[in-house]
Amino acid sequence: MNEYFKQLQQQFFEYRKAKGFSSNETKPKQCCMKIFWQYLDKENITDIKALKKEHLFNFATYLTTYKNSSISSSYQLNILCLVKSFCKYLLERDIIASDPSVLVPLPKIGQKLPSNILTVKQMNKLLLSPDINTYIGIRDRAIMELLYTTAIRNSELRHLKLTDLNLRDGEVFIYQGKGGKDRFVPVGKIAKEFLEIYLDKARPVLCKQVDNPYVFLSFRGKKLGNNSLQDLTQRYGKKAGLTGVCPHTFRHTCATHLLKNKAPIRYIQKLLGHASISSTQIYTHVAIEDLKEVVRKCHPREK
C-alpha cells in the first residue's frame, strides 16, 4: 500500500470513529481493507481516482477465489460492505466524481443458526465450575453469571468500567457497543450477588492501581486481554464436560432461554442490542427446530 492510500485509509477510519463506530473495529477492518489494497496493487492502480465500477465487480469475483476461497462468504460480505462504505466516503469528500461501487451486488448470506446452545442443566453446571474459594474463581463466576444474565458481548464485558455499574438498581450501562450504540441492560439477582462479592472481596486484591477504571481485572491487575474470555469460558466448559463453549455461547443461550420462556422478541432485541429485529428472529428458528423435534418424537403420524 502506497503512502497516498495509507493516508486515505487513516482519514476514512477517523471519519468512521467520528460517526460513532467503535475504535475496537479498526484493527479487523484494516485487515479487510488490506485485501482491497492487495487487489489494487495487482491491478496496478496507484490513484484512487482511477477506480472504476469494473474494478469493483472484478474485486467481488476476486474475493471468491482469494487464497483458494479460504475466506468465508460472510467475511467476503464484510469486505465488500466496507469497500462500498469507503467509496461513499470518497464521494462525500469529492475525492472521486462518482461512486464506482453503487451497482456492485452484495452476496446473499443465509442466516446461520447459533450453535452450542446449552440446556438450563448444562448452563447451571458450567456456572458452578469455578472454585469460588479463590479470588480468580470468584471473578470468573461473576463474569459468567453476568454474561448469561445480560447476554452482553465479549468486548462489551471486557470494556466495562466501574462507573457503568448501577447495582442498586440492577443495571449495567453498555457504552459504545456494536455499531457505536449505547444501551442499558438489566442484571439478574444471582449475577448481582456475585458481582457484589467480586467487587467486595476479589477485585481489591487483584487491583494494583487505585485508579484502574475497569470492572474485571487479570491476575496482574490489568484490563482483560482480547483472548481472556475465550480462554476462560473454554477452560470451564471442558471442566463441565462441554465442548465448544465460548463467550457467545452465553449470549445465544440467554436469548434462546428467554424466548422459550415466552419473553417477547422485541425485549430480547433490546437486550441483545440488535439494530434490526431480523437479527433477533434467528432465535425463533432455534425454537422451531425444537418444536420439529418434539413433533418428530411425539406425533402419531411420525412414528
**pLDDT per residue as tens digits for the range 246-264:** 999 999 999 989 988 888 8
Evaluated on CA atoms 22, 171, 152, 228, the torsion sign reads positive
* Of 153, 192, 203, 252, catalytic: 153
Q: Which three cell numbers stand for residue 141?
A: 463466576
* Burial classification of residue 183, based on how many CB atoms lie within 10 Å of its CB (0-12 exposed, 13-18 middle, 19 or more buried): middle
Which spans in 128-216 are helix H?
A: 135-150, 154-158, 189-197, 203-206
* Of 39, 148, 198, 283, catalytic: 283
* Of 17, 88, 178, 239, catalytic: 178
Q: Which three cell numbers stand for residue 59?
A: 474485486
The verdict on whether 159 is a catalytic residue reads no
**pLDDT per residue as tens digits for the range 195-215:** 999 999 999 999 999 899 999
* Of 16, 159, 251, 252, catalytic: 251
The verdict on whether 257 is a catalytic residue reads no
Task: Give the separation between CA 49 and CA 42, rounded to whole angstroms.
Answer: 16
The verdict on whether 178 is a catalytic residue reads yes
Topology (CATH) of 120-295: hpI Integrase; Chain A (1.10.443)
Which one-letter amino acid corresponds to residue 94?
A: D
Answer whether 0.85 is exceeded by the pTM.
Answer: no
Task: Give the separation between CA 292 and CA 274, rounded to whole angstroms.
Answer: 27
pLDDT for 106 equals 82
Low-confidence ranges of the chain (pLDDT < 50): none
Evaluated on CA atoms 184, 186, 191, 197, the torsion sign reads positive
CATH number of 3-92: 1.10.150
Q: Domain ranges for the chain, please list them.
A: 3-92, 120-295
The verdict on whether 121 is a catalytic residue reads no
